Structure 1
Amino acid sequence: MNIISDVNNAKIGVVGAGSWGTALANLLGNKGFKVDFWVFEKEVKEQIEEFHENQVFLPDIVLSSNIFPSNDLADVVKGKDLVLIVVPSHVMRDTAVKISGLIDEKTIIVSASKGIENGTYLTMSGVLKECMNNISEDNFAVLSGPSFAREVAKNFPTAVTVASKNPDVAAFVQHLFATPFFRVYTNDDIIGVELGGAVKNVIALAAGIIDGLDLGLNTRAALITRGLAEIKRLGLVMGAKPETFTGLAGVGDLVLTCTGDLSRNHAVGKKIGQNKKLKEILSEMRMVAEGVNTTKSVYNLSKKLDVEMPITQEIYSILYEDVSPKEAVLRLMTRDLKQETDEQR
């Protein structure tokens, strides 16, 4: 594969017009690519066509004239060299099934969605591979890392990683997305990159709860550190590489999501810490806080694999068993005393 020449001529479809999908489509459009862009909401399609703006999910950002929105999924994905999928985890399977009969077997499929499917415990690329079994596993990649959509859209310097089992595909995606403000590294640890991106949302809920309770910076630092230990513990059992969790898709994304004001998961957790009920919080949101669904998946997966994840367990108890945040913090702090570096603790 001639990476540079193939990238320059790539036909691209982007599926999903939330804030992140819009930011990535805009990045590619600004590089000069014609981007066919699948949009679920008719109002968003009309806004992009008329105003060059996604006023619902990424307001106040002028979008490239190279973005061509459509409500027709087939128009967006047929005949493409690469299809980028950026939909919420709870609709990934339905979307993948619809796409599966429309795409060529040589198409590169890139997931930029973060989550673990309830019930199957599959990562997003796992769902895609199961639904698109006509496409070689070598043609799948995942894009992850510390990257708030609004900051990427404003050209703030950002670094991410793309993971694929096929080094040529990883390099293709790397060159496709790389700009002077968007630096892309490659990785071959797909499961580690995806677990880092998914489970950090659970820890971000916890960080938000801590801030909502006004427990201070010591508590948040401890939470992030021990949260990373949980993510790594699960990852090692599932075959991930330990070094992935010290990289962009691990500690990088975790720190951003646990501390950044633009984090939806942190915002939800903060409101819970301030004594608001989850149902009420979610009813006021149009965008998705992935950590809410992912908490259920990760909690059940940890039980299935017998992996100790006390922070995840307490977030599950807060979200789904009506345990008070203060009680959950007390239970974490009064667990049996451990040796810090024991991977099973």
Structure 2
Amino acid sequence: MWRVERSKVAILGGGSWGTTTASVISRQCDASLWARDSQIVAEINEQHTNQRYLGDATLNPKLSATTDIRHAVKDAGAVLIAVPSSHFREVLHSALANLPAGIPVISLSKGLEKGSRMRMTEIIQELAPGRIPGVLTGPNLAREIVAGQAAASVLALEDYSAALALQPLLNVGLFRVYTNEDVIGCELGGVLKNIIAIAVGMGDGLGAGDNTRAALITRGLAEMSRLGEALGGKPGTFAGLAGMGDMIATCTSPQSRNRHVGMELAKGRSIEDIIDSMHMVAEGVKSAPTVIELAREYGIELPISEDVYRVITGESNARGVYRGLLRVIAGAESEPG
């Protein structure tokens, strides 16, 4: 049975979620945050803020940051990786030389790798054998959590005993971490909800009402469940924090990057223009082509996700697909559409 032998936890990624997680858990462990940007590192260490990503929120003064990734992970009892999926492999590879054996390496990313179509835990298995791959996910809007508001997350590791041992270290104040044995389902829930949030954003941007939003979220959850189960996830996972919980937060919050993308698409802006104007990554844009590839390969119908994909790739526009988002003839609720 795995147990925590070192009190140090390394967090790789100085964006909003990486910084928030590091600040929260630094209240009860030695948290070392790695970031590329030396100015952000200096600001965290000297002013205890990260204004680029978290505004004026005050970070725990115990949190230390560094630009040296090998120093960050050296002697760590666990490593959390909070970088966009497109950089996940590169960042993990950079840390390998000093990455302790036998420790949990946990993804906080919510995307799939382009080309390989791999989940982040699969990349961990490939690049860092002898470690315990896992995911920390759920309805976690960084600015609310760093401000001390209540939130819940879910931790799933390939070794469930390791999740149980690490859980108390991550449970801090009003930030509650539950455990789940379904790594695949937890990881896919975080990926798939982003695409539905773009659809909801398009509807909101075009003036849709609460009924439409509720229908899109509910039918989107059905799409998530169909594909997620086909790829190995467990049905109950998609009704929990990693599925429904994350879906609700991402589809309704003004802080949601993916919902923001949908709203901007509704204004007629191009996806390239929207992405260029954002300093944080909307994973739904990057994951949509891969998700559609997987759905077609497995013969899973995802009508809402397909329409989002058509807008992202320029085949259609938000107003055109919005008329069809719920246009499919209604059959049984268990059927696509």
Quote the offset at 1:156 in angstroms: 0.7
Q: Tell me if 1:326 matches 2:319.
A: yes
Give 4+ residue runs of structure 1 displaced > 6 Å after superposition: none
Contact 2:48-2:58 at 8 Å conserved across structures: yes
Secondary structure of 2:52's aligned partner: coil
Contact 1:162-1:174 at 8 Å conserved across structures: yes
Structure 1: where are the runs of 5+ without partners?
none
Distance in 2 (CA, whole Å) between partners of 1:102 and 1:50 is 26
Most deviating of 100-109 and 50-59 = 100-109
Q: Which deviations, in whole Å up to 9, do the C-alpha atoms of 1:153-192 show, x marking residues without a partner?
A: 1111111110123221111221111023011111000010
Determine which of 213, 217, 227 is the counterpart of 2:210. 217
Distance in 2 (CA, whole Å) between partners of 1:167 and 1:279 is 41
Distance in 1 (CA, whole Å) between partners of 2:319 and 2:61 is 50
1:234 maps to which residue?
Answer: 227
Q: Percent identity?
A: 36
Secondary structure of 2:51's aligned partner: coil
Q: Which deviations, in whole Å up to 9, do the C-alpha atoms of 1:36-62 show, x marking residues without a partner?
A: 110111110121122111111112111
Secondary structure of 1:57's aligned partner: helix
Q: Tell me if 1:114 matches 2:110.
A: yes
2:38 maps to which residue?
Answer: 42
Q: Tell me if 1:85 matches 2:85.
A: no
1:68 maps to which residue?
Answer: 64
Determine which of 54, 58, 62 is the counterpart of 1:58. 54
Distance in 1 (CA, whole Å) between partners of 2:114 and 2:298 is 15
2:304 maps to which residue?
Answer: 311
Contact 1:197-1:253 at 8 Å conserved across structures: yes
Quote the offset at 1:327 in angstroms: 1.6
Q: Tell me if 1:165 matches 2:158.
A: yes
Quote the offset at 1:124 in angstroms: 1.3
Secondary structure of 2:268's aligned partner: coil
2:124 maps to which residue?
Answer: 128
Contact 1:273-1:325 at 8 Å conserved across structures: yes
Q: Tell me if 1:95 matches 2:88.
A: no
1:278 maps to which residue?
Answer: 271
Secondary structure of 1:30's aligned partner: coil
Q: Which deviations, in whole Å up to 9, do the C-alpha atoms of 1:233-273 show, x marking residues without a partner?
A: 00111111100011010100000100011111111111111
2:7 maps to which residue?
Answer: 10
Q: Tell me if 1:20 matches 2:17.
A: yes
Quote the offset at 1:108 in angstroms: 1.5
What one-letter code is carried by the residue in structure 1 that aligns with 2:324?
R
2:185 maps to which residue?
Answer: 192
Structure 2: where are the runs of 5+ without partners?
none
Secondary structure of 2:279's aligned partner: coil
Contact 1:145-1:160 at 8 Å conserved across structures: yes
Determine which of 272, 286, 291 is the counterpart of 1:293. 286
After TM superposition, the score normalised by the length of structure 1 is 0.94
Distance in 2 (CA, whole Å) between partners of 1:284 and 1:330 is 27
Distance in 2 (CA, whole Å) between partners of 1:319 and 1:88 is 19
